[in-house]
Amino acid sequence: CVALTAAVSALAMGPHLGLALPLGALPTALLEMALTLLVMWLQRRCFRGALLALRARTTNMDTLVALGTLSSFLYSSYALLGIDPAAGGTGGVHLYFEGAAGILTFVGVGKYIEERVKVRTGDALGALSRLAPPLVTVREGGCERALPPAEVAVGALAVLKPGMRAGLDGVVREGSGHADESAVTGEGLPVEKRPGDPITSGSTLVSGSLTYEVTRAEADSTLGRIIALLDRVNREKAPVARLADRVAAVFVPAVALIALITLGGWLLSGASAGEAVGFAVSVLVVSCPCALGLAVPAAIMAGTGVAARHGVLFKGPEALERLGGARVFCFDKTGTLTVGQPRLRVVGAADGGFMSTIIAGSLERHSDHPLARAIVAAAGEAALLPAEGYVELPQRGVGGTVLGERYEVCNLSRLAELGIGTGSLGPEVEAGMGGGATALFLVAMPAGGPQLRCAFLLSDGLRPDARAAIADLTAAGVATEILSGDHEAPVQRVARDLGIGACHAGLRPEDKLALVRSRPGVVMVGDGINDSLCLAAASVGVSLKGATDIAVDSASVLLMRGRIHDAYKAFAIARATLANIRQNLFFALVYNSVFIPVAAGALYPALGLALNPMAAAALMSMSSLSVCLNAFRLTALRLPDPALPEAAPAARWRVGIAGMHCEHCVASVGRALSSIPGISAVEVSLEGNAATLTAEAGVGDSVIRGAVEGAGFKVTSIGAA
């Protein structure tokens, strides 16, 4: 259709540009007519939709497009009869076949894009179904065998090993471990599982090994219920009633009635049939709803173009229209407002935290606990030391000997067993735990009694642009809430830090769904499987690039840059586009209100003023142009990125080192310094007995000194390079 319309336009514009018509005027006009008929046949579903609406005694957008196309085509076909075959040009006859082809093509391209997006409607269900493992390992009579989840009976014993995903709900009977439930519940950290604890289908065992008793069949499992609910939500979701459709329901019958009244009135007044038909055709042409038909798609195309420039993808015009009228933004917490990865902070360490982290990491590398891996990552594999006499303290921590001294890395309950309080570390530990952070402690175990060395606070940090996103939404008059499956303390901390009005913690997917459905105009912003129901059921679902495939498929708006502030940008663009649509409709209706009476001949008896079909068509084009120019104004919309916290400038250090004798020593010092978080560009020189490095702000000389001395060398000086 695009190619055919381009050809029709080229043939129509040739004479106006001074180009000769190689086929002659009449053959060229007939070729335009034939090409336009082909476009009309290719876009015949528009006429089919108009007929179906007519049968239902209503009008819609298809009616508008069909009426506008037929008005332009029929007038051009009638005008074609006035072309002299012997003349070199059209003889002043104006044809508007390109207008008929153009509006059909424009609307058709929009429909094509919309339908391509709708093909993905079932993708979320497919991805969610693939989340369930195809087989469940069941223990029967001392043997293990794999069965499809549908064939596993309630009461059977299923086995989970590290990396395996639970296919059914159950209760742990033997063993222990840690399960990652973030995809289903939103819990940010892996959850410890012991006998008697529940296992949720869709969760992954990240450490340990356990056997659980199946308590629900596949269809009744948590994952099965989410799949069923998502399917129901997708089927129940009604299409948006377009604003233009509501206008068309009144406008189209009114125009048809005015044209008939014009025809009958002039015939009754004694005018000739040609004059009466001319006035009636002028009414249809001047009121041709090209401008009205362009009002919505022109603004939407401009708005989606601006959105794409800002990394926002609208999967369809309904999403843009709905988002412009949003009242409440509901956010998931883990991975949406937060980065989704535990961040380590050391409190109360006399050595600045470096050696304490290395000692703790040297012990924790023997553990498969997720928090242990976070400490090991912070210490750096290259800096870890041998740990002797390693022991696990079930549900309390780990212990061992590092550099000849006995240590434990334990939790708060173990600290209480040892009779140690956290007061010596200051109020920061209590404040951190009160804010939702998980605390582990490094305790030295000398003969004289245990000594608390430091605390490790692990928490999920906020996205750097989260505050700006919430502040801008609040300033725009939109309410904000958190809907999370995480615990109360971390959810309240995030809500307090960001200034979010309300928060709801410990929610199951169906609980989130009930809250979203309870109010109109709700926008859900999320990234996990547990958010997919709400993303599909909300007025608008917004997901970030990098989220789970199910969340991306369930959402109708995708933030391609993965920035949460782009959720506000999407809202601002949608609101501006919706305002532009209303302006376009206003312009189109005012134009028709002014010129339809003139076209009907209301001023002809008194002033002799009338619009012939050619003049009416010219005015029709002007109204379409005004709508397009107004929509084009959206491209000037500017939404600057928020000012994010800037990292402090890095400093260049020179460290004098004694005790290096060979390249192996140089390599050891290089590994020790490179393992410090915030240290980069390390260069060690044996000839100069020194190292130069780049250190971010916050990396103190005590940390650098501890790394070098921990590797067995002596620091003689530290200063700016």
721's tokens = 């390079």
Concatenated DSSP letters for 60-87?
Answer: -HHHHHHHHHHHHHHHHHHHHTT--TTS
Question: Residue 218 in 3-state DSSP?
Answer: helix
Tell me the one-letter amino acid at 473: L
Rounded CA Rg of the chain: 36
> In this structure, is the dihedral angle defined by the CA atoms of residues 251, 254, 255 and 256, taken in order, positive or negative?
positive
CA atoms within 13 A on the CB side of 36: 27
Contact (Cβ atoms closer than 8 angstroms) between residue 39 and residue 12: no
Contact (Cβ atoms closer than 8 angstroms) between residue 479 and residue 571: no
Helix axes 701-710, 663-674, angle to 10 degrees: 140
Q: Residue 336 carries which DSSP code?
A: I
Distance CA 87, CA 25 (A): 7
Distance CA 476, CA 571 (A): 10
> In this structure, is the dihedral angle defined by the CA atoms of residues 102, 103, 106 and 112, taken in order, positive or negative?
negative
Q: Residue 367 carries which DSSP code?
A: -
Give 422: exposed, middle or buried? Use CB within 10 Å, 0-12, 13-18, 19+: buried
Distance CA 574, CA 664 (A): 61
How many residues are given for the chain?
Answer: 721
> In this structure, is the dihedral angle defined by the CA atoms of residues 6, 7, 10 and 13, taken in order, positive or negative?
negative
638 backbone dihedrals φ, ψ, rounded to 5°: -120, 125
Choice among 180, 332, 465, 486 that is catalytic = 332
Contact (Cβ atoms closer than 8 angstroms) between residue 564 and residue 219: no
Any alpha helices (H) in 518-642, and if so which ranges? Answer: 532-537, 549-554, 566-599, 604-607, 613-632
Tell me the one-letter amino acid at 691: A
> In this structure, is the dihedral angle defined by the CA atoms of residues 450, 451, 455 and 456, taken in order, positive or negative?
negative
Tell me the one-letter amino acid at 602: A
Distance CA 363, CA 60 (A): 70
Distance CA 656, CA 715 (A): 6
581 closest CA partner among 318, 294, 251: 294
9 backbone dihedrals φ, ψ, rounded to 5°: -65, -40
367 closest CA partner among 201, 192, 184: 192
78's tokens = 């009638």
Distance CA 394, CA 387 (A): 18
Does 220 participate in catalysis according to the annotation? no
Strand partners, 329: 480, 523
Catalytic site positions: 332
